[in-house]
Structure 1
Amino acid sequence: MRFKLRQLSHALAVWKHHSFRRAAEEQHISQPALSRSIHNLEESLGVQLFDREATEVTLTAFGEVFLHRAQALLVEADELEREMNLMKGLGVGRFSVAMGAYAARVAGVPALAQLLAEHPGLQVRVENQNWRDTERLVRNRQVDLGFGELAHLQEASELHVESVGQHEVVFFCRAGHPLLNPTTPVSAGDIDAYPFVGPPVPYRLAHLFPRNGTVDEKTGDIFPPIVVEELNAVCAIVARTDGLGAAIPVAIEDRLRSGEIAVVPFQAPWLRVDYGFIRLAARSVSPAAAAFMALVRAAEPELEQRNRALMAELFGRAAPAT
């Protein structure tokens, strides 16, 4: 049994007017074309929907049952079309994203806030996850998109990975920390002498962080002495202990300006973070996800400029050209 929505519209018009002529006028087609449409519909159903009498057209028992259901189908079809159009315009829709702590703080949350300000009808779910769980949620189709650190990712054909931000990172500590007024330049060994506060680190990035953590036997991940996933919590702990944190300067600028924390005078070319989007290559991008990605991409050049300017201020470099 196959029929088309326009055939349902034709049949409902005949039912409404009890006339093929008036139904054809309402549907803006010729009467012979309408008659063929109804005939083909009855042929596909294998039943007669209308009794054609000399003065009017009436429903058969089959027609009464069928057209009551057909009316509901057309209402649902109209509502479905409306919802698809709203989704394309982001008037409605759902969006789920898993974000790493640093990517979320620097670019993800501001972009999400802007998206919701522009499209308040969206329903959004945010998962704040470490790098490993972000990838897992994407692979398991539990979120539409991952947004976080990328350097750990092995090349995989099933994933589409897009880098959007590469920024220098600094170590930071509490005000008055011993590393802030060194008699000699701070070395990697000096950094290793203090407990690191932060999330687990993929083994491929172990060289970026102090070598005072423990190695997970199953995954090879490096677990720092103080494991903390959320950046605000890292800052709060570092501000009250001798532990060290690491972050993109713009992510902690307000705390640096307040004097709550300070940047350790240590730089190395490998102290960089690379973050971006992670999604399944075979899965289409929803309108809401595409809009979020566009907002992040649009904001990234300014973020890069701000971070470079802040690094120049912190380490006495020449300010970058604008």
Structure 2
Amino acid sequence: MMELRRLAHLVALADVRHFARAAEQVHLSQPAFSRSIQSIENDLGIRLFDRVVGGVQPTPAGEFVIKRARALLFDARCLQRDVDLYRDGHLGDTAFGAGPFPAATLLPKALSELRRRYPRVGLRVEESNWQQLLERLRTEHIEFFVADVRDLPEDAALEIRVLGTQHFDLYIRASHPLAASQCTLADAWGYGVAAAKVPIAVKAKLARALGLPAGQQVVLALECDDIAILRSVALSTDTVLAATQASVQADIDAGSLLPLRIRGWPSLHSEMGVVSLRNRTPSPMAKKAIACIAQVASEVDTPVPYAQ
């Protein structure tokens, strides 16, 4: 039976595709590392890697074995982690991620509540778009993330807990040339639109509303995963901000940002969800963080769109 340590050597070589760098990664000399890989190939009776210029690449048989090795190592890490949590009987620290809109609308209140309840627990939060957060989740750098979930790939390894929706609009500063009356979406687009990463379904609706030819996508003037930066640009220029109402509610209340009154504006929204790995038991603190975020999400009302 192959040891988990040797399987880790196999995965390391598959990741870096170079014997010397993989040996350094697992803290072995190159000769010892090479013997470990050769021993696995001998035990299985198949070649797992082909030597190529500059390194190695997995054979078809190697790809098959490496996939199974990754799963076994993942399960072993989960088992050790769960045993440690059970034995120690404490909440433990946790790390998770958030997309731009939940970071702006859910996390301030959720994190404040978590800090009040558990002042001795360490929390680490990464803010980014769902693609980067998914990679961080798969590599186990975070336990879960909350983001718009519509563009996530269909993957049995992912578990998604839907949190609800937030209405989506276009906003301008109070002194904007379009503030005085209704306009068309094309009028608004002419000033340039700033937004976080836009879901495919939203892009399609906007393209149809703009009357673009089939297959042509809308082009943003500014794309950024930091809502604070987008707000700053919209408040200081004539750039139009695409955002959920909850993320700019303070600016609306202050009268510094106004919703554009657009004829024929399609109903748009953000679909929030918590994403985690299905076969990984969340830490006690991760469970409490998810519950707290879900509670805050339930309190963020989806407003009724204004009359066009």
Q: TM-score range by the shorter chain?
A: 0.5 to 0.7
- Once the two structures are superposed, residues 146-190 of structure 1 have per-residue CA deviations (whole angstroms, 9 ceiling, x without a partner) of 1111111122111111110212111111112122223xx433322
Q: How does 1:121-132 map to 2 (within 5 A)?
A: 121-132=120-131
> Taking structure 1 as reference, are residues 83 and 209 closer, same or farther at Cα in structure 2, changes over 3 Å only?
farther
Contact preservation (8 Å) 1:201, 1:223 = no
For 1:124 and 1:199, how far apart are their aligned partners in 2?
Answer: 24
* Map of 2:289 onto structure 1: 292
Aligned to 1:251: 247
Larger radius of gyration: 1
How many pairs does the alignment contain? Answer: 218
1:85 aligns with 2:84: no
Q: 1:161–1:279: 8 Å Cα contact kept in structure 2? A: yes
Deviation digits for residues 58-86 of structure 1 (CA, Å, limit 9, x no counterpart): xxxxxxxxxxxxxxxxxxxxxx7897222
**What SS does structure 2 have at the residue aligned with 1:239?**
helix
Q: 1:222, CA displacement in angstroms? A: 7.0
1:213-260 alpha-carbon deviations (Å, 9 max, x no partner):
xxxxxxx99762222221111111101111111222122111112222
Is the aligned partner of 1:188 residue 2:185?
yes
Partner of 2:228: 232
Task: Flag the 1:221–1:117 CA change in 2: closer, same or farther, 3 A.
Answer: farther
After superposing on structure 2, the runs of 4+ consecutive aligned residues of structure 1 that deviate more than 6 Å are: 80-83, 220-223
Describe how 1:44-55 pairs up with structure 2 within 5 A. none
Q: What TM-score do the two structures reach when normalised by structure 1?
A: 0.61
Residues 200 and 223 in structure 1, CA contact (< 8 A), matched pair in contact too = no
Identity of aligned residues (%): 19
**1:199 touches 1:223 (CA, 8 Å); kept in 2?**
no
Q: Map of 1:1-322 to 2, 5 A cutoff?
A: 84-86=88-90, 90=91, 93-182=92-181, 185-207=182-204, 224-266=220-262, 268-304=265-301, 307-308=302-303, 311=304, 315=306
Contact 1:152/1:205 (<8 A) preserved: no
| 1:81–1:136 distance in 2 versus 1, CA, 3 Å | closer
What SS does the corresponding residue of 1:295 show, helix, strand or coil? helix
Summarize the Cα distance change of 1:81–1:128 in structure 2 as closer, same or farther, 3 Å threshold.
closer
Greater relative contact order (Cα < 8 A, sep 6+):
2
Matched residue of 2:178: which SS?
Answer: helix
Give 3-state SS (helix, strand or coil) of 1:179's partner: coil
Tell me, in whole angstroms, the C-alpha distance in 2 between the residues paired with 1:273 and 1:205.
9
Amino acid at match of 1:224: L
Which one-letter code corresponds to 2:285 in the other structure? A
| CA distance in 1 between partners of 2:167 and 2:145 (Å) | 21
How far the C-alpha of 1:199 sits from its partner, in A, is 2.4
How far has the Cα of 1:316 moved from its partner? 6.2
Residue 257 of structure 1: SS of its match in structure 2?
A: helix
Where structure 2 has 5 or more consecutive residues not aligned to the other structure, the ranges are 1-83, 211-215
Look up the SS of the partner of 1:136 in the other structure: helix
Question: TM-score scaled to structure 2, two decimals?
Answer: 0.64
Write the distance in 2 (CA, Å) between the matches of 1:192 and 1:146.
Answer: 31
Give the CA RMSD over aligned residues. 2.7
| Preserved contact between residue 172 and residue 234 of structure 2 (Cα < 8 Å) | yes
TM-aligned CA deviation for residue 114 of structure 1: 0.8
Do the aligned partners of 2:172 and 2:258 also contact (CA within 8 Å) in 1?
A: yes
Contact 1:151 1:205 survives alignment (8 Å)? no
Question: Following the alignment from structure 2 to structure 1, what is the Cα–Cα distance between the partners of residues 261 and 101?
Answer: 21
